[in-house]
Amino acid sequence: MLVSFFYSAAPLFSQIKNETGKSNDELSNIKNDKALSYFIEGKTLELKNDYIGAIENFRTALKYDKSPGIYYALSKIYFKLSKFDEALSEINNSLKINPENQNYLEVLADIYIGKKEFSKAISAYEKIILLDSSYTFGLYSLARLYQEMKMPAKAIVIYEKITNKIGYDFDVLNKMYEIYYGYKDLPKSIEVLESILKLDPYNTSIKKLLSSLYLRNNQFDKTKDLYEQILNLNPQDKDVQTELVKIYFKENDSRKAFEKFSKMLGKDSLGFWEKVQIGELYYNMISQDSSSAEISKNIFENLNIDYPDHWIPYYYLGALSILLEKSGNNYKDYFNSALQKADTSREIFVNIGYSYFLQNDIADALEIIDAGLYKFPEDYRLNYFKGLSLQKVNKESESIKYFEKAVVLNPADLSILSTLALAYDNQGEYSKSADTYEKALSIDPQNPLILNNYAYNLSERGVDLGKSFKNV
């Protein structure tokens, strides 16, 4: 990658490579007429791609004049032929005679790049820049070498110097962005992307990238402005619409957020349940994106204000309180309010009962689950959670009847079957345990958890070991 870059420089720099106005280093020092004649013939053959003939003429010219320009011409032909050792030998002959010639040094650098000796190429370009600190192509080449050699601190200094000298250039700015972003320097990364955007103000990809950095840097106004610009160019961009909605929710501007969301759905406005679904969407994203927790909280706080008699915002605010506060009992106040608003909804008993169970608050879990079972005795989830809660307080023998009822109500649930089979096994009811495992395997013969537990159950008791190992 690096070698090919230096064989054909970036377009911007092709017109400035010889900006210092150097004289022709091949001809200027040839004094002997015969040498000059052979040299011109060699150049003619070189233009015809007759490199062997060109080399022969240059070699003959050297017999009459040891001019550094002839060695230089030879070196360039060997370089074209990828004969880097020969090219190196000839350019070193040139440099022995004229050690500060920039053209010679540049060929030397190119040869080292061809040989993949990048540290030596860096040394050559450093010497070139010492001779001419304003040589833009040399600066750019040196910066690229620094960057490729994992020397970003040196590279960025030179890229900054190039930018100060010639102004904004897309390729240079792109390299600067790579370095600053690698350093996790958000302000500088943003500054560079802003400069790139000035060169290409309608580049949507750069706008999106810059928007994401604004967002990470908590520059919400600038983020919103860029997202709005993108939507003006492409009103159907769902990703940008979604990000814009998230910002409004983060800023607790639910009115605008719901307006944007309704447009995404092609609706004039959103009703209560649709807003709840949005809140649930962000709630379910928390495990992948922790920032979704605050968004979900803002949504349900606003819904709680707009719909104070509905239990769902209270429930989610309680669940979010558990996630965000890590300590304290604020979640219980929310849950109690939810129960007061919805004592006829089975979902409230299921969700809150299980939330208490997960908090290891078994007493409250059992109280809520029992209240739910009184109203909804045929809900398999409440029966299952009752069994789990009893297990937690070492009442496994009592838990079995609730697991059994849950299986009757939902016979295909593998989690319940597995839990019941383990409970039977712990209580010494091995035949029932085996029957339950067999039932689970009849539903999903390849389930690794069921297979492993069943095999372990059998092997621990020394029963039917052949079947046990086969299952594993």
Boundaries of every domain in the chain: 343-397, 411-472
Return the amino acid letter for 450: I
Residue 84: the pLDDT is 96
Q: What is the pLDDT of residue 9?
A: 36
* Helix residue ranges per DSSP H, 15-101: 33-47, 51-64, 68-80, 84-97
For the whole model, what pTM was predicted?
0.54
Q: What is the CA radius of gyration of the chain?
A: 38
Contact 91, 114 (CB under 8 A): no
Half-sphere exposure at residue 218, Cβ-oriented, CA atoms within 13 angstroms: 2
Q: For 190-246, what is each residue's pLDDT tens digit?
A: 999 999 999 999 899 999 999 999 989 989 899 989 998 888 888 878 788 888 888
Cα–Cα distance for residue pair 312/315, rounded to 1 Å: 5
Backbone angles phi, psi at 286, to 5 degrees: -60, -40
Q: How many C-beta atoms lie closer than 10 Å to residue 395's C-beta?
A: 13
- Round to whole Å and give the CA distance between 312 and 299: 12
Is the domain spanning 411-472 CATH 1.20.1740.10? The answer is: no
Q: Minimal CA–CA distance to 137: which of 157, 113, 117, 166? A: 166
How many whole angstroms separate alpha carbon 458 and alpha carbon 467?
8
Q: Angle, to 10 degrees, between the axis of helix 346-358 and the axis of helix 311-325?
A: 10
Instruction: Quick: pLDDT tens for 134-147.
Output: 999 999 999 999 99
What's the per-residue H, E or C state across 412-460? CCHHHHHHHHHHHHHCCCHHHHHHHHHHHHHHCCCCHHHHHHHHHHHHH
Residue numbers in the chain where pLDDT is lower than 70: 1-28, 264-266, 268, 327, 462-472
User: Given this model, what pLDDT does residue 13 score?
Assistant: 40
Query: Distance from CA of residue 181 to its chain's centroid?
Result: 12
Q: What share of the chain is helix, strand, coil (3-state, %, to 5)?
A: 75, 0, 25
Amino acid at 118: F
Q: Calculate the average pLDDT of the chain.
A: 87
Q: How far apart are CA 406 and CA 436, in angstroms?
A: 13
User: Which amino acid is present at 65?
Assistant: D
Rounded to whole angstroms, how far apart are CA atoms 377 and 383?
8
Output the six-digit token pair for 316.
Answer: 């989610």
Cα–Cα distance measured from residue 112 to residue 62, given in angstroms and rounded to the nearest whole number: 25
**Do the Cβ atoms of 352 and 339 come closer than 8 Å?**
yes
What is the rounded CA–CA span in Å between residue 78 and residue 372?
88
Distance CA 459, CA 463 (A): 6
The C-alpha atoms of residue 164 and residue 94 are separated, in whole angstroms, by 34
Beta strands in 161-279 (DSSP E): none
5 alpha carbon, distance to own chain's centre: 27
Strands (E), 224-345: none
pLDDT, residue 278, reads: 86
